[in-house]
């Protein structure tokens, strides 16, 4: 595969510890073939385009034509795992000014922009990107060039991860932040536009690799490649029931799937939909289904379905008497 | 509360799902924590026909989750996510999220006094120094309880094999019977054999049965649910549900070691008592059903402990239930020496103290007896030297030796030794059925189904 023309790479998920670092992991072979050094800036072009710093691959990826991106980068490039993206080497310029704003509507931020600059030093950005502040990386960045190490060892901005939207940069295009950059932090949320969402990605659900794989097969695959199912003549699954103890991340998982498959996400809260007036709750349900069908591809999430669809009454009455425990 | 409104709503939901055009790119995902409580009609093909279980995360899962929640957090170098993941047994994602938040709040609390609240802003150099430390996490751990385990306490004991003196035989048996299968379930699957489901530890009181159970849970990196029979028994009807719930929880947080202390009072032989026959019989039945019932116990091991194994229902000792009987005996001389070493490790001993000699003179002492002996010796030292006593000498130990004695008599030891074969035999003796006790008049009909 020494053909230099190949500049399309398949996207794979980055490891959780790489999440939010602004890195793109490429195979050494590919980097050598395209004149890339560790730390060079690459433009990643999917449906949209974003930028990252190229670094060495994970050992298991050596020689594969994949690029590892984290959840936010995938959202920024408008791609999902398994899609192909174009890679181009670019030279970024130091930004004169970058404006950030919170990417979550419910957050109001007031903080020193200088601290933000320190925490983002060396990062490459384009306007419209969603980026996350990160804590100090204590994973030793083995054999990376010093400028990259410095970028990864930057001090944390806050006590938790905050997702920010790059409102604008001056000059436009791909820039990086250095000491001379003027950083402005807006307090109010601003809509990133483009349908990008700073929502939950697969990187944000931990400890359920298998579950994610299952759910991706059932939901994301049919959403992204409906033609696959049409050709096979089978209907993709219509409903998936997630069950498990409270607090294990069922809602989070559903959000992540919706976000990563770029589907519209509708939520029905079981207890909330129960209206008082006759027929009201059914009407609400119908309306949401209609909306979701119109907005397809979409995912409709019914939380706590047991509250709207409990078992038949017979058992309940008996249960009180304590006889039919298995009910 | 379950009325017409719900029925109509279910019907509407079913209609809507069935009415979707086949090629509509719409997926309905529903979530519940009570899958048994929803209408079966919803789970038919074409509706919610796919099910995914979202379980309680295991140790590596917890580590991943912690990494996610601490991603944007300035962590002190001493914070070890691996250690945190190991100690947070039974925590689910939401609990871990709460834990990291509490730790962050703890860190903020620490710098509060340094803040000049009137100025409205925080000086950058304070922010720079703000880090979440290991102590913050430990403090937070005291406040955040795992929600999955609210009803049944799950612990992560911190007793290791080396904290147990003697009992080598019992240790070896537990190691191969529990630690091995819990750590390498694949090896057993490959060989096509089933690991033992239950272990019954029996022996004189004070010989360290509880300690052994804790150590095996710790060393096999399993969760540890400890119950006493008094926790599981109540005068209310339906108490056996407690056991079912206990096992359900254990399966959720598997690998788990369930430890039932004083199991003889929980599961006495059935059909013997006359006054209150049903109460404990149901408990025994539930226990039997859970242990070898239809629901496969995967990576759940039950350890029962008793010092009166003969009083237990023999049915519990049959294969597939408490497969292995482990006799926890009084320690031999070498074992006693090790136990003494463990108990006196934090004690300033005088040079003349000869633990070997003490071990020699404490025949048939159990671990608890030896601990008591050491404590007494310390007390004698205190009595002699007053508040500024700083070492415990051999004389104190001699005094303590005179004041204490072994709880286990030679006859007792002999009896326990003879018990092992008797117990196994008792399990195979057929039980008298129902009310037809020996000597009772024979019923007219051989079976109640015959005319």
Question: Residue B233 is part of a domain; what is its CATH number?
Answer: 3.40.50.300
Q: Is B112 on the interface with A (CB under 8 A)?
A: no
Residues 6+ apart with CB under 8 A from A131: A20, A22, A72, A100, A120, A123, A125, A163, A164, A166
Residues B369 and B311 in one domain: no
Q: Is B289 on the interface with A (CB under 8 A)?
A: no
Residues B305 and B390 in one domain: no
Residues B170 and B116 in one domain: no
Q: Which residues of A touch B286 (CB under 8 A)?
A: none
Q: Answer whether residue A327 shows pLDDT above 50.
A: no
> B414 in a domain, yes or no?
no
Band (pLDDT 50/70/90 cuts) for residue A195 is low
Q: Answer whether residue B440 shows pLDDT above 70.
A: no
Q: Is B124 on the interface with A (CB under 8 A)?
A: yes
Residues B66 and B118 in one domain: yes
We report the CATH number of the domain holding residue B105 as 1.10.8.60
Residues B175 and B312 in one domain: yes
Residues B124 and B271 in one domain: no
Q: Which residues of B touch A230 (CB under 8 A)?
A: 23
CB pairs under 8 A between A and B: 291
In chain B, pLDDT over 90 holds for what percent of residues? 0
Which residue of B lies nearest to A111 if distances are taken between CA atoms?
B121
Q: Would you state the pLDDT for residue B164? A: 80
Q: Examine the fold and report which residue of B114, B149, B184 is the final residue of a domain before the chain moves on.
A: B149
Residues B62 and B88: beta-carbon distance below 8 Å: yes
- Number of domains observed in the structure of chain B: 4
CA angle A209, A213, A214 (to 5 degrees): 120
DSSP B284: H
Q: Which residues of A touch B39 (CB under 8 A)?
A: 309-312
Q: Which residues of A touch B37 (CB under 8 A)?
A: 306, 310-311
Residues B320 and B346 in one domain: no
Q: For residue A245, give the nearest of B9, B61, B92 by CB distance.
A: B92
| Chain Cα centroid distance, residue A318 | 47
- Cis peptide, bond prior to residue A3, ω within 30 of zero: no
Per-residue pLDDT tens for A16-55?
777 777 788 888 888 888 788 887 888 888 888 888 888 8
Per-residue pLDDT tens for B211-267?
888 888 778 777 778 877 666 665 555 556 677 777 877 776 667 888 888 887 777
> Is A160 close to B72, i.e. CB distance below 8 A?
yes
Band (pLDDT 50/70/90 cuts) for residue A326 is very low
Q: Answer whether residue B149 shows pLDDT above 60.
A: no
> B268 in a domain, yes or no?
yes
Q: For residue A244, give the nearest of B17, B54, B60 by CB distance.
A: B54
Output phi, psi for B258, to 5 deg: -95, 125
Band (pLDDT 50/70/90 cuts) for residue A214 is confident
Task: Quickly tell me which residue has 């710790």 as its tokens.
Answer: B218
DSSP per-residue string spanning A104-118: STT------HHHHHH
DSSP B179: I
Q: Answer whether residue B184 shows pLDDT above 80.
A: no
Band (pLDDT 50/70/90 cuts) for residue A4 is very low
Q: Which three-class secondary structure state does DSSP give residue A123?
A: coil
CA distance B322 to chain A (A): 26
For residue B257, give the H/E element and its range: strand B256-261
Q: Answer whether residue A5 shows pLDDT above 80.
A: no
Q: Answer whether residue A149 shows pLDDT above 50.
A: yes
- Weakest-pLDDT range from B144-148, B161-165, B376-380: B144-148
Residues B36 and B107 in one domain: no
Q: Which residues of B touch A240 (CB under 8 A)?
A: 27-30, 48, 50-52
Q: Examine the fold and report which residue of B327, B352, B385 is the final residue of a domain before the chain moves on.
A: B327
Q: For residue A304, give the nearest of B21, B32, B108 by CB distance.
A: B32
Residues B181 and B258 in one domain: yes
Interface confidence, given as ipTM, is: 0.74
Round the average pLDDT of chain B to a whole number and report it: 77
Q: For residue A134, give the nearest of B63, B71, B100 by CB distance.
A: B71
Q: Is B250 on the interface with A (CB under 8 A)?
A: no
Residues B268 and B120 in one domain: no
Q: Which residues of B touch A246 (CB under 8 A)?
A: 33, 92, 94, 147-148
Q: Which three-class secondary structure state does DSSP give residue B1?
A: coil
More confident of the two residues B51 and A277: B51
Band (pLDDT 50/70/90 cuts) for residue A135 is low
> B286 in a domain, yes or no?
yes
More confident of the two residues B6 and B162: B162
Q: Which of residues 345-404 of B touch A (CB under 8 A)?
A: none
> B418 in a domain, yes or no?
no
Q: Answer whether residue A287 shows pLDDT above 60.
A: yes
Band (pLDDT 50/70/90 cuts) for residue B13 is confident
Per-residue pLDDT tens for B83-139?
888 777 778 888 888 888 888 888 888 877 776 666 666 666 676 777 888 888 888
> B445 in a domain, yes or no?
no
> B304 in a domain, yes or no?
yes
Residues B134 and B234 in one domain: no
Residues B313 and B187 in one domain: yes
CA distance A8 to chain B (A): 28
Q: Which residues of A touch B57 (CB under 8 A)?
A: 206-208, 248
Band (pLDDT 50/70/90 cuts) for residue A323 is very low
> B99 in a domain, yes or no?
yes
Burial A168-181 (b: 16+ CB within 10 A, else e): ebeeeebbbbeeeb
* Helix, strand, coil distribution of chain B in percent, nearest 5: 50, 10, 35
- Domain interval for residue B211: 154-327
Q: In what order do the strands lie in the sheet with B256-261?
A: B154-155, B223-228, B256-261, B300-306, B198-202, B324-327
**Overall average pLDDT of the B271-291 stretch:** 65
Decide the pairing of beta strands A84-89 and A8-13. Answer: antiparallel
Q: Examine the fold and report which residue of B149, B177, B197 is the final residue of a domain before the chain moves on.
A: B149
> B444 in a domain, yes or no?
no
Q: For chain A, how many residues are written?
A: 327
**Overall average pLDDT of the B184-198 stretch:** 79
């Amino acid at each position: 595969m020494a053909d230099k023309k190949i500049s399309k790479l398949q996207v794979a998920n980055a490891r959780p510890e790489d999440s939010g670092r602004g890195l793109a992991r490429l195979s050494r072979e590919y980097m050598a073939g395209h004149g890339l050094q560790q730390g060079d800036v690459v433009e990643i072009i999917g449906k949209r385009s974003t930028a990252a710093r190229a670094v060495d691959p994970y050992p298991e990826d050596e020689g594969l034509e994949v690029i590892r991106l984290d959840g936010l980068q995938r959202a920024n490039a408008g791609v999902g795992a398994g899609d192909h993206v174009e890679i181009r080497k670019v030279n970024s310029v130091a930004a004169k000014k970058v404006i950030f704003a919170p990417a979550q509507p419910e957050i109001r931020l007031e903080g020193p922009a200088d601290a933000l600059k320190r925490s983002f030093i060396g990062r490459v950005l384009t306007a419209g990107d969603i980026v996350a502040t990160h804590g100090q990386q204590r994973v030793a960045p083995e054999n990376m060039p010093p400028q990259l190490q410095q970028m990864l060892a930057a001090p944390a901005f806050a006590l938790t991860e905050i997702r920010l939207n790059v409102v604008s940069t001056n000059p436009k295009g791909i820039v990086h932040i250095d000491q001379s950059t003027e950083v402005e932090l807006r307090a109010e949320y601003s809509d990133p536009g483009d349908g990008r969402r700073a929502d939950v990605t697969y990187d944000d659900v931990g400890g359920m690799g298998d579950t994610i794989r299952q759910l991706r097969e059932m939901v994301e695959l049919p959403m992204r490649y409906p033609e696959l199912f049409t050709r096979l003549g089978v209907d993709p699954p219509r409903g998936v029931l997630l069950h498990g103890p409270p607090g294990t991340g069922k809602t989070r998982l559903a959000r992540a799937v919706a976000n990563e498959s770029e589907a519209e996400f509708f939520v029905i809260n079981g207890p909330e939909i129960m209206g008082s007036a006759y027929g009201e709750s059914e009407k609400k349900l119908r309306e949401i289904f209609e909306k979701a069908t119109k907005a397809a591809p979409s995912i409709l999430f019914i939380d706590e379905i047991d509250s709207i669809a409990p078992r038949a009454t017979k058992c309940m009455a008996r249960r009180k008497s304590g006889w039919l425990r298995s009910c | 509360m379950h009325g017409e409104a719900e029925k109509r709503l279910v019907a509407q939901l079913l209609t809507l799902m069935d009415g979707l055009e086949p090629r509509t790119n719409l997926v309905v995902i529903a979530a519940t924590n009570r899958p048994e409580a929803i209408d079966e009609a919803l789970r038919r093909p074409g509706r919610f026909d796919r099910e995914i279980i979202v379980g309680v995360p295991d140790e590596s899962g917890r580590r991943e989750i912690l990494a996610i929640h601490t991603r944007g957090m300035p962590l002190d170098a001493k914070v070890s996510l691996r250690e945190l993941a190991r100690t947070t047994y039974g925590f689910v994602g939401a609990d871990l999220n709460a834990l990291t938040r509490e730790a962050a709040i703890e860190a903020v609390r620490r710098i509060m006094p340094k803040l000049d609240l009137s100025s409205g802003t925080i000086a950058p150099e304070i922010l720079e120094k703000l880090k979440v430390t290991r102590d913050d996490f430990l403090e937070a751990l005291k406040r955040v309880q795992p929600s999955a385990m609210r009803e049944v306490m799950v612990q992560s004991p911190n007793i290791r094999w080396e904290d147990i003196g003697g009992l080598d035989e019992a240790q070896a048996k537990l190691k191969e019977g529990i630690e091995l299968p819990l750590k390498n379930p694949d090896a057993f699957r490959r060989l096509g054999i089933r690991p033992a489901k239950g272990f019954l530890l029996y022996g004189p009181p004070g010989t360290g049965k509880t300690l052994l159970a804790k150590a095996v849970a710790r060393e096999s990196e399993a969760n540890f649910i400890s119950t006493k029979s008094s926790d599981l028994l109540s005068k209310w009807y339906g108490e056996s549900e407690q056991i079912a719930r206990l096992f359900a929880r254990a399966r959720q947080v598997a690998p788990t070691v369930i430890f039932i202390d004083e199991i003889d009072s929980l599961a006495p032989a059935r059909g013997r008592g006359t006054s209150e026959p049903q109460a404990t019989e149901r408990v025994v039945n539930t226990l039997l059903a859970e242990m070898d019932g239809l629901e496969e116990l995967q990576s759940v091991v039950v350890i029962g402990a008793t010092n009166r194994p003969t009083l237990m229902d023999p049915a519990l000792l049959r294969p597939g239930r408490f497969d292995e009987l482990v006799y926890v005996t009084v320690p031999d001389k070498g074992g006693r020496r090790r136990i003494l070493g463990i108990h006196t490790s934090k004690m300033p001993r005088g040079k003349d103290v000869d633990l070997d000699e003490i071990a020699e003179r404490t025949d048939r002492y159990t671990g608890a007896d030896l601990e008591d002996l050491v404590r007494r010796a310390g007390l004698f030292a205190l009595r002699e030297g007053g508040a500024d006593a700083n070492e415990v000498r051999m004389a104190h130990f001699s005094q303590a030796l005179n004041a204490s004695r072994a709880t286990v008599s030679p006859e007792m030891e002999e009896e326990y030794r003879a018990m092992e074969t008797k117990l196994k035999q008792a399990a195979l003796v057929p039980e008298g059925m129902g009310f037809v006790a020996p000597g009772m008049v024979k019923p007219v009909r051989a079976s109640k189904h015959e005319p």
